[in-house]
Amino acid sequence: MVSAESWLRWIPLLPLLGAVLHVAVGYRVGRRATGVLACSVVGVSFLLALRAFSALVSAPEGAVLADDVYRWIAVAGFNIDVRLVLDSLSVVMCLVITGVGFLIHVYSTGYMAHDDDYARFFAYLNLFTSAMLVLVMADNLVLMFVGWEGVGLCSYLLIGFWYTDTAKASAGKKAFVVNRVGDAAFVLGTFLLFWALAPGASELGASDLGASSLRFADINAAAPGLSPGLVTAAALLLFVGATGKSAQIPLFVWLPDAMAGPTPVSALIHAATMVTAGVYMVARLNGLFEAAPAAMTVIAWVGAITALMAATVGVVQNDIKKVLAYSTVSQLGYMFMALGVGAFGAAVFHVMTHAFFKGLLFLGAGSVIHALHEEQDIREMGGLRAKTPVTWATFAVATLAIAGVPGLAGFFSKDAILAATFAGGHYGLWLIGLAGAALTAFYMTRLLRLVFFDSFRGDRERGEQAHESPRSMTIPLIVLAVLSVAGGYLGVPHALGGHDALGSFLAPSVSSAAHAGHALQLSMAVEWLLMLVSTTVVLGSMGFAWKLYAAGPDADVVVRGALGRAWQWMASAWRVDEAYERLLVRPIGRGAGFLWKSVDLGLIDRFADGVAMTAGVLAETWRRWNSGSVQHYALSLLAGALALVAAVLLGGGG
Amino acid sequence: MDQQLLSLLIAVPLVGAALVALAGPGAVRSMRAIALTASLAVFAVALRIAALFDSSTGEFQFTEQAAWIPQMGVTWSLGLDGISLLLVLLTVFLTPLVVLNSASSIDKRQKGYLVNVLLLESAMLGTLVATDVLVFYVFWELMLVPMFLLIGIWGGRRRVYASMKFVLFTMVGSLPMLVALVWLGLAHAGATGTPSYAMTDLYDLELTRSAQAWCFAAMALSFAIKVPMWPLHTWLPDAHVEAPTGGSVILAGVLLKMGTYGFLRLAMPICPDVLGAAMPIIGALAVVGIIYGALVAMVQPDMKKLVAYSSVSHLGFVMLGLSSLNVVGVEGAVYQMISHGISTGALFLLVGVLYERRHTRLIADFGGLWRQVPLYAFFLLVVTLSSIGLPGLNGFVGEFLILLGTFKASPVLAILASSGVVLGAVYMLWMFQRVMFGEVDKAENREISDLNRRELVILVPLLALIVLMGVYPRPFLETMEASVELTLERAGITPVETAPAEVSR
């Protein structure tokens, strides 16, 4: 079942090699060579991932490709290996990462064409791709953590890519630090599992490749046998890690700020790939999470509430990238809702379709920003349909896809999530999901209309100079637009006469009963009814937004009036950032200052200086009395000798 | 020759120091060449030792013994195990870099400086390979003198205060330790009829619990000051800020580890019965140090002070690992000692580079340097990431193992300590941002030149080790494993209880 394939390592190694080369020679070889190198390493990785995919498709169900690279850490009889595995779950992720990644690399050669730091940009982008691949190909938690922190590092570097702007640099740091909070929880969850599994690991049966600790397969297999409290704690700790990386409540605050990075970065890292790492991790550890029903409930509700909360914020944003950022937070919420109800396959399906249409939306936004010379405020846009036809058309496809219009990718994946939620009897979650879908349809229609329709409202000169982007940028848009439609047909539900090909492919990797189970429990009629309801809601919401925003941005006033006080909360993203600032950041800063000035300098040092001074005075007295030149040291020696004698006398007696 | 490698290790720097001292005045270049040759020769001796070292046993190897003060049972006993070997390697690796660095960082009395550096190296190596506690003590005290002079003569404006503080703090600790060590030798005489100060004899000594408690307290005070553990740490920031770059590198790189090494070598194996009671306290103080050091580092305006407080935090991790009393945590601690020596050494060297160009270390005096000095920025970035424990670099391995081991011993301490990992990212990245990012808004900073060839020669080996220790830690872990297990066994902990045995078999 496990076949050793030592070429797997090249999938993450090639982009790493690319990054190293950019650093080493990037400044000498020129832009063209840099761009070609950057794209081709990712392209070849994609081809290798395809090769693995085809091998897995033709192999018997449950097949796994593995590559034992080397033993990384070995202490006291436990080992952490650098071992890469591809099963149906990780190969899908690999294809998304390298496929969408390749398109975004190509797009970036156009988008960053005039940037001074071309090589540095691609070094980071390649490095990111490599780290992300390690994350999904790792066969154990610790190696996954290498990728996990690695992508966080690249995210930090890329958000602050234009570092001369301190606000951008700060956004990068914020992303890293908030993620570190999650990472700390991730590591603690790892420790908990490690010690829980350590004594009983031998019972799991040594695998053919030499068992090593913290392998996903071992954890999933052992989880049902562990104490429920422990499993729940471990699952929740790991989930806190996921809320960091995947921008869920309470750690989502970094993602909107992360939009400071170049737009291709937002597309690749902060929409298509890195932010789905948390979803992937939970799906990877489905056996563990299934064994912790309480944790699953938490995940489902955190996901649902995040989906709704972020969607409300998306309604009132005016920065094109901020709308998309909150939309991403919201869509990730859907994925977690799916995970929480045990629909791992549906979650991964949505990861994939979301990578297509959200990647496309960001790239489209980048194209618009490019066309308008860095304008990001949608109130200053409008009527770009004529000037940027390809961008418009593809953006429109993505909008329909994310909104969940029947026939496009988002419809199928979102429907799969909602159906699974309903089938599991989680009607409350289903209703929240539906409300979120309505809001999504609303803010996306608003965005589409304000950017591309009616007449241009911004600076006239800018409007006249607006132009379609070069082909290096539009071709990736077109490819992604095709995928935003076609991608959905990988998971057509049985109710619509499909076979849910992706679902069955993934099933062995996310083999929980829930995945296959719930979907089948719904009768055809109910499933049709659910689709009808959600489609009606989505289309209604889109129609409403379309009509409302015929009035242009002024319609915001209507929305604001209708929302009343809630508008303030939505506009400030429910004041979560503010709360952190007031309750954590500032008190910690003040506390640190107090510790330094008052405790370190004021208390400890004063005490020490006082002791030294007393000693000095004593020594001086001693010196005079002795009329010799006795120094501190001698005094101390004497004291020491006395103490010694005393100790010997006392100790000798005892 | 191979019979007396450890004596040779101690002697070569002394010979080097003598040769430097004999060099004619003004011949600065040849002095430096001599010092460099000597330090490289020591390095070669250490490599020879490493090549011959047998990592399958935790017992002392390369042992030498000669009578010294037979009446008192003091012998010139040397030996080394995997733990001391790694620290020896760290010492001999850093010293040549410090010698090289002196060319730009030291502008007066070069000869004295080089002599002191070599004397200090000799004393540090002596401390690490001594297996007689009084020999250990002599070297321990000998380390003080050159360090005191390095700060006091080649230091900054407040060098006198800082060097006095350094000496006084350390002395306060070392006297009770001397008392305890002498008492132990006498106790050995009481038990067997002959006095002995050999560590292996003292390990076997059956002491009452209260005697162990007193001895442990006396030694722990001395070692805790050296580490330094909170709240005995306040000498360190002053010493670092005033010390010349090379002094800081040695101080943070090696000297601090003498404290943690002392715990492992003496306090823990000699007083096993009190560890159960003492180590939780040490662990708690270590966690306070981790968080406290990180918080105070966050608000430092001076880069060197920031790094100094970060050392308080990082050494807190080392002590936490020791307090876990299991193989995983202790191996992590030893790993972190080496790793911190490399990273912090590199950090001080990098701060020194800026200081030499701008004669300031205030973070606020910089900003936007990335575009000015991209190569420097690259090095500082990697070292910063190493310091915050990014997986794939050296800092992660130690920190991970320490926290993993601690989690077994006390989940609460591990959870609290993990906040240090977050805070570490805050203060390091914030410093990096304020120095490197933004616009170059000060005219003086436009003149700053990037790393020159000598600086690269110094920094590249450090960078290589940072990556190597992160990607391939196994040789280092294998070197120490048997020694850590034996040390813990002597400390009354059998490996069976602590290691997740049989996991992989």
pLDDT reading at A634 higher than 80? no
- Cα separations (Å) of A127 from A13, A355, A569, B319, B436? 10, 19, 38, 35, 21
Scanning the structure block, which residue is given the tokens 């619990």?
Answer: B209
Which residues of chain B have a CB within 8 Å of the CB of A601?
234
Residues of A in contact with B433 (CB under 8 A): 160, 166, 169-170, 173
**Pick among B317, B434, B437, B476 to test the A interface (most A CBs inside 10 A):** B437
> How large is the average pLDDT for residues B224-246?
93
Residue B417 has pLDDT above 70, yes or no: yes
Q: Is a pLDDT exceeding 90 seen at residue B379?
A: yes
pLDDT at A580 exceeding the cut of 60: yes
Which of the pair, A465 or B307, is modelled with greater confidence? B307
Q: Which of B425, B491, B436, B20 is nearest to B272 (CA)?
A: B491
Say yes or no for a CB contact (<8 Å) between A177 and B429: yes
CA distance to partner chain B, nearest, from residue A215 (Å):
12
Give A444-512 as a DSSP string: HHHHHHHHHSS---S-HHHHHH--PPPHHHHHHHHHHHHHHHHGGGGG--GGGT---HHHHHHTTTT--
pLDDT tens figures, A284-334: 999 999 999 999 999 999 999 999 999 999 999 999 999 999 999 999 999
Q: Do A77 and B503 touch (CB under 8 A)?
A: yes
Residue B429 to residue B435: CA distance in whole angstroms: 10
Pairwise CB contact (< 8 Å): A188 & B397: no
Contact B404 A146 (CB under 8 A): no
With CB atoms and an 8 Å threshold, state whether A149 touches B401: no
Query: Could you say which of A78, A195, A637 has the minimum Cβ distance to residue B407?
Result: A195
Is the link from the previous residue into A250 a cis peptide, with omega within 30 of 0?
A: yes
CB pair distance less than 8 Å for A206 and B505: yes
**DSSP of B238-304, one letter per residue?**
HHHHHS-HHHHHHIIIIIHHHHHHHIIIIIHHH-GGGHHHHHHHHHHHHHHHHHHHHHHHHT-SBHH
What one-character-per-residue DSSP string does B184-241 give?
HHHHHHHHHSS---BHHHHHH----HHHHHHHHHHHHHHHHHHTTPTTS-THHHHHHH
How many CB contacts within 8 angstroms connect chain A with chain B?
202
Q: What percent of chain A has pLDDT over 90?
A: 76
For residue A433 the two structure tokens come to: 């999901």
Cβ contact A654–B211 (<8 Å): yes
Q: Which residue of B has its CA nearest to A191?
A: B404
Residues of B in contact with A191 (CB under 8 A): 403-404, 407, 411, 414
B1 pLDDT higher than 70: no
- Of A541-555, B102-116, B126-140, minimum mean pLDDT range: B102-116
Q: Which of A146, A588, A643 sits opposite B179 (nearest CB)?
A: A643
For residue A302, give the nearest of A352, A339, A260, A264 by alpha carbon.
A339
Distance from CA of A168 to the nearest CA of B (A): 9
- The pLDDT of residue A498 is 84
The average pLDDT across A248-265 equals: 95
For residue B224, give every residue at least 6 positions away whose Cβ sits within 8 Å of its Cβ, in sequence order, or none.
Answer: B173, B232, B259, B282, B285
Question: Quick check: A212 pLDDT over 70?
Answer: no
Average pLDDT, chain A: 90
**Mean pLDDT (whole number) for B76-102:** 96
B421 contacts in A (CB within 8 Å)?
Answer: 180, 183-184, 187
Tell me if A544 sits within 8 A of A442, measured CB to CB: yes
pLDDT of residue A637: 60
**Residue B503: pLDDT band with limits 50, 70, 90:** very low
- In tens, the pLDDT along A359-405 reads 999 999 999 999 999 999 999 999 999 999 999 999 999 999 999 99
User: Measured between beta carbons, which residues in chain A are less than 8 angstroms from residue B300?
Assistant: 596
Average pLDDT over residues A488-499: 88
Instruction: Please judge whether B500 and A194 are an interchain contact, meaning their C-beta atoms are less than 8 angstroms apart.
Output: yes
CA–CA min distance A644, chain B (Å): 5
* C-alpha to C-alpha distance for A304 and A336, rounded to whole angstroms: 8
For A263, B189, B274, B445, the CA distances from B186, given in Å and listed in that order, are 74, 5, 20, 62
Which pLDDT tens digit goes with each residue over B164-220?
888 888 888 888 999 999 999 999 999 998 889 999 999 999 999 999 999 999 999
Average pLDDT, chain B: 93
| The pLDDT of residue B172 | 84
Tell me, what's the pLDDT at A42?
A: 98
Asked if residue A628 has pLDDT above 60, the reply is no
Above 60 in pLDDT, residue A23? yes
State the nearest Cα–Cα gap between B31 and chain A, in angstroms: 33
What is residue B495's predicted lDDT score, i.e. its pLDDT? 53
Q: Are B87 and B261 in contact (CB under 8 A)?
A: yes
Residues from chain A contacting residue B391 (CB–CB below 8 Å):
142, 145-146, 149-150
**Facing A150 at nearest CB: one of B187, B234, B392:** B392
Confidence category of residue A641, pLDDT binned at 50, 70, 90: low
pLDDT in tens, A221-245: 889 988 999 999 999 999 999 999 9
Nearest CA in chain B to A188: B415
Q: How far is A141 from chain B (nearest CA, A)?
A: 12
Query: Structural domain boundaries of chain A?
Result: 2-515+524-563, 613-654
* Bridge partner residues of B65 (DSSP): B77
Q: Which residue of A has its CA nearest to B305?
A: A596
pLDDT value at A640 more than 90: no
* Closest Cα in chain B, distance from residue A356 (Å): 30
Interface contact flag, B234 A212, Cβ < 8 Å: no
pLDDT above 90 for B106: no
Q: Which of A423-437, A548-562, A604-618, B353-367 has the lowest mean pLDDT?
A: A604-618
8 Å CB contact of A78 and B210: no
For residue A500, what pLDDT is reported? 87
Asked if pLDDT for residue A118 goes beyond 50, the answer is yes
pLDDT digits (tens, 9 = 90+) for B447-493: 899 999 999 999 999 999 999 999 999 999 999 999 999 999 999 88
Position A516 pLDDT exceeds 50: no
